[in-house]
């Protein structure tokens, strides 16, 4: 046992001396302060936070203990003399220069020194193995770092995917709720609203079907009545002349349809003569009274004339004038035969009547686009042809004067509002042919509105396109009736 104990003590001493070479694992701060506190470890778990101590230290591997039988026994320790405690211990020459790890156990024999030498050799071999293992351990550490980094990136990617998955699930849940709400609304609409609307539409369809049937019956009845061409039932009076004034002087004193022939080289044509108003002799060139004729016509129609001259009301004579335009060619021919005056009569929807009269009225030929020329106003309707609209002032009023203007239709733009520009065309916006300026004070050939007052929303283009005489009723009142009559001018006797 003593021999074994001595052997263990020798191994411990050798191990203590071997530790003097492994100083790379000590902490400088701990060496200075005398403490054994471990270095601070970072987030990765194997590196200190301090950049000056960034060296990886692998775990040391202890060599196995020496084993075998004991070769020596222990010696008794002599008691030290009292008087020699302060004297330095002298070592015998034959002790071999090797002291025991514990001084009280005496001096080792030479075999003990050989044991120490052997242990030191083994220690150097172990350090060589350790130095060979260090690069491998460092490579393993770097690989571990790479693996750790990759694992962290995979973890981050997984967390991001989990977050996206959570967000997508939330969005899907929201859309699912909205789809369910819309499904409920659609189902309710389909189950309740649609059947109700279908019933209403079915009722409307039935009413329309009845109206169509009535219209078909009316059309069939008209077809039966119109199998034979219509004929005028009232006879044309025998008396005739160049114009209505001549007919009046020849005895034609009834206001009705007559036959006139201003030029012997051209065939006669029918006109309506007013033989009662202001001593008679008036030839009706324009008439509006019920909106039965559309005045939104082309240039050629205004040139030739259109509408219904007169109607028979059961007395055997065509004494009721219809809506018509005599024709620009005929009006021009009549006014160029000599001095001509014009009378414009109008009536509102309350029965009130006014008139405007011009002593001189001439329409030039088609080569000049039927230029209008008037002079000598009298009456109570307002002098719109010569002075423009009394509601306006300055240039705005000047641009409503009709005197000197050429005739315009929607297919022949001759007004003063940028001629040739279809977006700035008075005849197109105001509903009929007329001597437009930019655009009008009077619009006798405009659209016919029943009841008088109308609004911009009712107008096709948002303009005052009614049968307008601004100086009497303003822009937004459409007259019930208006007519233009001409006769040769002569001084009263």
Residue in 287, 221, 302 with CA at minimum distance from that of residue 257: 287
pLDDT digits (tens, 9 = 90+) for 131-153: 888 888 888 888 888 888 888 88
Q: How far apart are CA 433 and CA 427, in angstroms?
A: 6
DSSP state of 276: S
β-bridge partners, 107: 99
Contacts 24+ apart (CB under 8 A), 175-184: none
pLDDT digits (tens, 9 = 90+) for 367-390: 999 999 999 999 999 999 999 988
Q: How many CB atoms lie within 10 A of CB 379?
A: 14
Mean pLDDT of the region 197-203 = 87
pLDDT digits (tens, 9 = 90+) for 110-123: 555 666 777 777 78
Residue 53 confidence (pLDDT): 41
Q: How far apart are CA 346 and CA 252, in angstroms?
A: 25
> Which are the contacts of 447, defined by CB distance < 8 A and separation ≥ 6?
296, 431, 432, 459, 460, 465, 466, 467, 478
Q: How far apart are CA 454 and CA 457, in angstroms?
A: 8
Q: Tokens for 163?
A: 């977050």
Residue in 457, 479, 456 with CA at minimum distance from that of residue 469: 479
Reduced to 3 states (helix: H, G, I; strand: E, B; else coil), residue 478 is coil
Residue whose structure tokens are 């770092």: 145
Q: What is the pTM of this model?
A: 0.55
Residue whose structure tokens are 């050429």: 406
Q: How far apart are CA 256 and CA 310, in angstroms?
A: 7
439 preceded by a cis bond (ω within 30 of 0): yes
Would you list the DSSP string of 349-401? Answer: TTS-EEEEEEEEEEE--GGGT--EEEEEEEESS--HHHH--TT--HHHHHTT-
β-bridge partners, 48: 41
β-bridge partners, 310: 321
Give the side-chain half-sphere CA count within 13 A for 421.
Answer: 9
116 preceded by a cis bond (ω within 30 of 0): no
Residue 128 confidence (pLDDT): 84
pLDDT digits (tens, 9 = 90+) for 288-327: 999 999 999 999 999 999 999 988 776 666 788 999 999 9
Residue 397 confidence (pLDDT): 87
β-bridge partners, 185: none
Q: Which of 46-50, 92-96, 179-183 has the highest mean pLDDT?
A: 179-183
pLDDT digits (tens, 9 = 90+) for 239-271: 888 999 999 999 989 899 999 999 889 899 999
pLDDT digits (tens, 9 = 90+) for 381-429: 999 999 998 888 888 888 899 999 999 999 998 888 877 677 788 998 8
Give the side-chain half-sphere CA count within 13 A for 50.
Answer: 9
pLDDT digits (tens, 9 = 90+) for 87-113: 555 555 444 455 555 555 555 555 556
Residue in 479, 429, 480, 437 with CA at minimum distance from that of residue 456: 429
Longest Cα pair distance anywhere in the chain, in angstroms? 191
Phi/psi-derived region of residue 394, left when phi > 0, alpha when psi is between -120 and 50, beta in every other case: left
Q: How far apart are CA 233 and CA 183, in angstroms?
A: 71
Q: How far apart are CA 11 and CA 13, in angstroms?
A: 5
Q: How far apart are CA 320 and CA 313, in angstroms?
A: 7
Q: How far apart are CA 489 and CA 493, in angstroms?
A: 12
Q: Cα angle vertex 220, ends 217, 223, to 5°?
A: 155
> Which are the contacts of 3, defined by CB distance < 8 A and separation ≥ 6?
69, 70, 71, 72, 73, 74
Q: Are strands 269-274 and 256-260 parallel, antiparallel or unpaired?
A: antiparallel
Domains in the chain, please, with CATH? 244-488 (3.90.215.10)
Contact of 465 with 475, CB cutoff 8 Å: no
């Amino acid at each position: 046992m003593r021999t074994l104990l001595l052997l263990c003590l020798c191994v411990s001493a050798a191990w203590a001396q071997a530790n003097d070479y492994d100083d790379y694992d000590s902490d400088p701060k701990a060496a200075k302060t005398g403490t054994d506190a471990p270095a601070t470890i970072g987030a990765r778990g194997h590196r200190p936070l301090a950049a000056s101590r960034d060296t990886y230290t692998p775990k040391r591997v202890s060599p196995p203990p020496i084993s075998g039988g004991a070769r020596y026994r222990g010696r008794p320790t002599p008691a030290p003399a009292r008087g020699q405690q302060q004297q330095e211990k002298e070592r015998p020459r034959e002790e071999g220069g090797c002291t025991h790890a514990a001084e009280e156990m005496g001096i080792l024999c030479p075999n003990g020194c050989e044991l120490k030498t052997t242990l030191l050799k083994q220690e150097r071999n172990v350090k060589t193995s350790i130095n060979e293992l260090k690069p491998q351990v460092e490579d393993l550490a770097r690989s571990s770092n790479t693996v750790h980094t990759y694992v962290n990136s995979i973890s981050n990617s997984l967390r991001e995917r989990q977050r996206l998955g959570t967000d997508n699930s939330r969005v899907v849940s929201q859309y699912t709720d909205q789809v369910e709400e819309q499904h409920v609304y659609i189902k309710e609409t389909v189950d309740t609203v649609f059947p109700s609307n279908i019933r209403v539409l079915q009722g409307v369809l039935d009413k329309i079907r009845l109206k169509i049937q009535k219209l078909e019956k009316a059309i069939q009845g008209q077809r039966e009545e119109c199998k034979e061409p219509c004929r005028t039932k009232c006879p044309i009076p025998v008396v005739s002349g160049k114009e209505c004034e001549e007919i009046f002087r020849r005895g034609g004193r009834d206001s009705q349809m007559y036959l006139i022939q201003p030029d012997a080289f051209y065939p006669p044509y029918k006109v309506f003569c007013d033989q009662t108003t202001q001593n008679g002799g008036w030839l009706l060139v324009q008439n509006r009274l019920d909106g039965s004729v559309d005045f939104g016509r082309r240039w050629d129609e205004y040139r030739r004339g259109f509408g219904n001259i007169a109607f028979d009301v059961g007395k055997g004579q065509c004494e009721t004038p219809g809506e018509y335009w005599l024709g620009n060619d005929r009006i021009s021919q009549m006014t160029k035969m000599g001095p001509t005056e014009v009378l414009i009569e109008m009536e509102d929807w309350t029965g009130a009547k006014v008139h405007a009269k011009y002593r001189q009225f001439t329409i030039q030929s088609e080569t000049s686009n039927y230029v209008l020329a008037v002079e000598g106003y009298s009456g109570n309707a307002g002098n719109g042809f010569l002075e423009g609209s009394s509601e306006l002032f300055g240039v705005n009023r000047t641009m409503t004067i009709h005197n000197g203007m050429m005739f315009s239709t929607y297919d022949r733009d001759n007004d003063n509002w940028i001629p040739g520009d279809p977006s700035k065309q008075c005849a197109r916006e105001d509903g009929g042919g007329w001597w437009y300026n930019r655009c009008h004070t009077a619009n006798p050939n405009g659209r016919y509105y029943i009841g008088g007052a109308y609004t911009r929303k009712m107008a096709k283009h948002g303009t005052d396109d009614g049968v307008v005489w601004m100086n009497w009723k303003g822009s937004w009142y459409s007259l019930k009736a208006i007519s233009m009559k001409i006769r040769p001018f002569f001084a009263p006797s």
